Structure 1
Amino acid sequence: MLVDKDWYSELKLGNIENIEPVSGGDINLAFKVTSSTGKYFLKVQPNNNASFFDHEVEGLNLINSVANAPKAIRSGTFKGNGYLILEYVEFGTDSEYALGKLVAKMHQKHNDQFGLDHNIKNAKNPKINTWQDNWGDFYVKQRLEVLEIQVKQKGLWNGYRENLLDRLKAKVYEYYSNHPVKPSLMHGDLWNGNAGFQSDHQPILFDPDVFFGNREMDIAMTLLFGGFSKDFYDGYQSVYPLDEGWEDRVSWYQSYYLLAHLNLFGEGYGASLENSLERSISF
């Protein structure tokens, strides 16, 4: 779709000089807006409304309460399309040690329970966020089993995968019945494309999918597809050291993210999911 001059007055960003498409992922259309009042990042969700962005705005605000993320300026609906205006971030570089410290600072924002005050049902990977006291209950019932239903409906399941997942569920239940953890503010989609540096070298986090959970899940995501250096983990551990044995539990959470990729992209992720589930129950 074209964001044309009809949008200019709707956006209320002063005298708009230019709107140009930029790379913004596969979910939204994205644009750089240059106006008399500065530069802005515009996301548009075609054939939807402003509520589509409510969870992202909530996540950005939560992260900004303790760390650093783009500032949400305004969301709205125009001509049947939802939109979100963010501050525009000029990118730079710095040591990933600082980025690790930023993530640790975010994880130090705690809550009494796991979850969030609403579910995310309009996403391709739905999330049930009903508050829970026990992490094992939350992770199994409101993350793993939600996606298990999705992939079964798509014919992407078999008896071998079901057996592996059942064994992982049992392991998670057993472990967290004796090893309680504090609910942390989670980014929720922490791969290297959603983290970086501003031109002033400040680390910054993007595109959150927040909830309060076990921080090991965010860390497992950073290790799934690579892209973070040793400095990142050294920086993280300098602020908020992970619990003993966390490396052994990485595959427990990577199995969720691979299940999510299986649901989104199909059987190409089947073998990787099976490998992760096999590692999860190997000790």
Structure 2
Amino acid sequence: MWKSISQVLADQFGAYYFIKTKQKIHTGETNETWLINDGIQPVFVKINDRSYRSMFRAEAEQLERLYQTKTVNVPKVYGVGISQSHSFLLLEALPIQKTSNQNMGIFGQQLAKLHLLDGSEKYGLDFDTWLGSIYQPNDWKNNWSTFFSEYRIGWQLQLCYEKGIDFGNIELIIQTVTKKLNKHQPKPSLVHGNLWTENCALVNNQIFTYDPAIYWGDRECDLAFTELFEPFSKEFYENYNSIYPVDKNFNERKKIYQLYYLLNFSHRFPNHYINLTKTFIDDLLK
């Protein structure tokens, strides 16, 4: 496997990449992660079984698309590859620092500029992605309420049910979400899709973000997730609003968008989020 990684990096850098050091960072929910170094260029490596190559390709494509927008900072992609028994994703190694309110304020402006970009008249994406370790379908839809209720809330409810977590009448919940969003037809924005503190870091005095789950959707989905657990700094929201003011009715939709992430967490980490998710669903159905 390491020979295959060296070869991909040699193609990327134009010279053979001799791995001098390998440091296992941790084994996360899905992938093993490593930091390797040839003495010149450190590289962050994600490793999994061969069957995960499509997931790594999707992640690489998402990071490339975000990079091409010239708005938010993301790690460079060095390549995706496969060996006899593994697949891997090679990324820029980020020297992470401690974040500050000033840095988050600049990030707020960058995110607003991302959300302002034009690029689609429909909601979805031309390929499917993953939210964490969970497959995320992105079929194109003209109607936002249909897209979000079916491909976000309905999809996660079904996954929960298949794993033995029953939040009630799935069709009723989908219909309720559709009804509450029915009059809301926002401009399709390219959203990060997985934007919370765990997926942001300060690098060389700039905020970088990673592990995206992009699609063209309502920008409020990104903002809602930033507020769910540990809200970003007030400077982030103030600077975001200075570029792209939030709709006055955002708070009416915020918990609906947050429910998507709670459903996802409920079947990924069932011991921690089920009760909170039930509370959100009870409030939705009132």
What is the TM-score normalised by the length of structure 1?
0.87
Taking structure 1 as reference, are residues 276 and 159 closer, same or farther at Cα in structure 2, changes over 3 Å only?
Answer: closer
Identity of aligned pairs, percent? 28
CA contact 1:33–1:42 (8 Å) conserved in 2: yes
CA contact 1:63–1:69 (8 Å) conserved in 2: yes
**The one of 48, 53, 71 aligned to 2:51:** 48
CA contact 1:164–1:278 (8 Å) conserved in 2: no
CA contact 1:50–1:77 (8 Å) conserved in 2: yes
How far did 1:103 drift? 1.6
How far did 1:165 drift? 5.3
| Cα deviation 1:153-195 (Å, max 9, x = unaligned) | 222115377755543332223x32xxx2111111111110111
Within the alignment, does 1:115 sit opposite 2:124 as a pair?
yes
Within the alignment, does 1:32 sit opposite 2:35 as a pair?
yes
Does 131-140 or 33-42 show the bigger shift?
A: 33-42
Write out the 4+ residue segments of structure 1 that deviate beyond 6 Å after TM superposition. none
CA contact 1:255–1:273 (8 Å) conserved in 2: yes
The equivalent of 2:68 in structure 1 is 65
| Cα deviation 1:50-73 (Å, max 9, x = unaligned) | 322111111111111222100101
Letter in 2 for 1:86: L
The equivalent of 1:207 in structure 2 is 211
How far did 1:221 drift? 0.7
Within the alignment, does 1:229 sit opposite 2:233 as a pair?
yes
Within the alignment, does 1:265 sit opposite 2:276 as a pair?
no
Letter in 1 for 2:179: A
**The one of 236, 249, 256 aligned to 1:252:** 256
Secondary structure of 1:228's partner?
A: coil
The 1-side partners of 2:131 and 2:200 are apart by 24
What are the equivalent positions in structure 2 for 1:93-132 lying under 5 Å apart? 93-94=99-100, 95=102, 96-110=104-118, 111-120=120-129, 124-132=133-141
Within the alignment, does 1:136 sit opposite 2:145 as a pair?
yes
Secondary structure of 1:48's partner?
A: helix
Secondary structure of 1:31's partner?
A: strand
The equivalent of 1:169 in structure 2 is 178
**The one of 76, 87, 90 aligned to 2:81:** 76
CA contact 1:49–1:76 (8 Å) conserved in 2: no
How far did 1:227 drift? 4.3
Matched residue pairs, number?
275
* Structure 1: gaps of 5 or more residues: none
How far did 1:273 drift? 1.1
Secondary structure of 1:16's partner?
A: coil
